[in-house]
Amino acid sequence: MLDTSRRFAFTPEHDLFREQVRRFLERELLPHLDRWEADGVFDREFWTKAGEAGLLCPTVPEQYGGPGLDFAFNAVIDEELAYAGSTAGITLHSDIVADYLVAYGSDEQKRRWLPRMVSGETVTAIAMTEPGAGSDLQGIRTSARRDGDEYVLNGSKTYITNGQLADLVIVAAKTDPALGARGVSLILVEAERAGFARGRNLDKIGFHSQDTSELFFHDLRVPVSNRLGAEGSGFAYLMNQLPQERLSIACAAQASAQRAFDEAVKFTRERKAFGQAVFEFQNTRFTLADLAARLQVGWAHLDWAIRRHVEGALTAAEASAAKLWHTELQWEACDASLQLHGGAGYMEEYPIARLWRDARVTRIFGGTNEIMKEVVARAI
């Protein structure tokens, strides 16, 4: 398990919550994870059980059915899920979608959706990426044309986390294509609406148990009251919320890097070669020592970033730097740890294989690491 004895981002309340999260994952996730990896999707029941255990949407205010906690509780869940080797989409649901509704939703929208998100009754997704628009969100082509008291949506989205299970999707669409970024709005779309269609559950290199889908909108009508916030403010909202998304990715990346390191230490101490444990070779010990030093720095930085964010002080550039640094560390740790496993590391029966496979995409989603460098550079 993660050693949190030297962490400084958390209080005793967070530590107690971490124990609760660990017990839940041990009971409700780990026994089923291999099956979910094979199925390409989590059981819907997992969501409601997570809701019952208090693992969904920790920051939702009490008046909307949540516990009203700080983001550090989200960070605990992010870390423990990643350390367990899980890519469950509850982090997107809790860390991203919930905050959009809390920050920009009307009172009616909050009262309708947030309690159901906290309980796990409603699964959510956010649809930004399109076949022709990834990190450049200004390039989206999905349209939401105003027709009286309704919007008519047409377009498609891809790489959408929770796409197969989502009951509610926040869709980024152009309400005024002539205005570029200032013409983007966010629209709440219920999955049962006519004109909504799910594509295939995408066949990915990793993240096998997380359903990731194409979504299609064909003459889909929603009332104007389904708009999230002000018309034309969608791009600004997306930019405002990206720091938390990127910090969430950094939390998971750091925990995954630690798990990879721990697996390498365990394996090399047990595996014998040329009459001694693989751990005793200088190359092994130096590789692990270098990773241990980087992990030490990583945990200190992550705690700093979490505290900054809880205080409302984490900047977009700082969050982007965190996403950049921790995902690069994750890949380095997973790749080096797989190498130390030798041929065993390429076998699915060893946890390092899944950790390595899942690590590759984290330098892409949430904005590619090349874009992270651009964000950081602009703040210099």
Distances (CA, A) of 315 to 7, 78, 202, 211: 22, 20, 33, 31
Residue 315 region by backbone torsions, left for phi larger than 0, else alpha for psi between -120 and 50, else beta: beta
**CA 338/CA 85 separation, integer angstroms:** 15
Alpha-carbon Rg for the chain, nearest whole angstrom, is: 21
pLDDT band at 136 (very low <50, low <70, confident <90, very high): low
Q: Could you report the per-residue pLDDT of 226-263, keeping only the tens digit for each?
A: 999 999 999 999 989 989 999 999 999 999 999 999 99
pLDDT band at 180 (very low <50, low <70, confident <90, very high): confident
E strands, 128-260, are: 143-147, 150-161, 168-174, 184-190, 196-201, 212-223, 227-228
Residue 172 has pLDDT above 90, yes or no: yes
Answer yes or no: is pLDDT of 133 > 80: no
Answer yes or no: do 207 and 289 share one domain: no
Alpha helices in the chain (DSSP H): 12-28, 33-39, 44-52, 71-83, 90-91, 98-104, 107-119, 234-270, 282-310, 316-340, 351-359, 369-378
Distance CA 72, CA 150 (A): 39
Confidence of residue 139 (pLDDT cuts 50, 70, 90): confident
How do residues 321-377 score in pLDDT, each as one tens digit? 999 999 999 999 999 999 999 999 999 999 999 999 999 999 999 999 999 999 999
CA pair distance 134, 153, nearest whole angstrom: 19
**Where among 230, 247, 279 does a domain terminate?**
230
Q: What's the pLDDT at 42?
A: 95
Shared domain for 352 and 243, answered yes or no, is yes
Residues 8-25, mean pLDDT to the nearest whole number: 97
Does 248 map to a domain? yes
Average model confidence (pLDDT) across the chain? 96
Catalytic: 80? Answer: no
What's the whole-number mean pLDDT along residues 192-215?
A: 96
Domain final residue pick, 183, 215, 230: 230
| Structural domain boundaries, residue 271 | 236-378
304 pLDDT more than 80 = yes
Tell me the pLDDT band of 10, cut-offs 50, 70 and 90. very high
Same domain, yes or no, for 116 and 129?
no
CATH of the domain at 202: 2.40.110.10
**This prediction's pTM:** 0.96
Give dist(CA 342, CA 220) in Å, integer. 52
Q: Among 84, 102, 122, give the residue marking a domain's end.
A: 122
Residues 55-81 have pLDDT tens digits of 999 999 999 999 999 999 999 999 999
Running DSSP on this structure, what letter comes out for residue 84? Answer: T
Q: Does 97 share its domain with 162?
A: no
Query: What's the burial of 6, exposed, middle or buried (CB within 10 Å: 0-12/13-18/19+)?
Result: exposed
Per-residue pLDDT, averaged over 188-211, amounts to 97
Distance CA(337)–CA(356), nearest Å, equals: 9
Catalytic one of 245, 311, 318, 332: 245
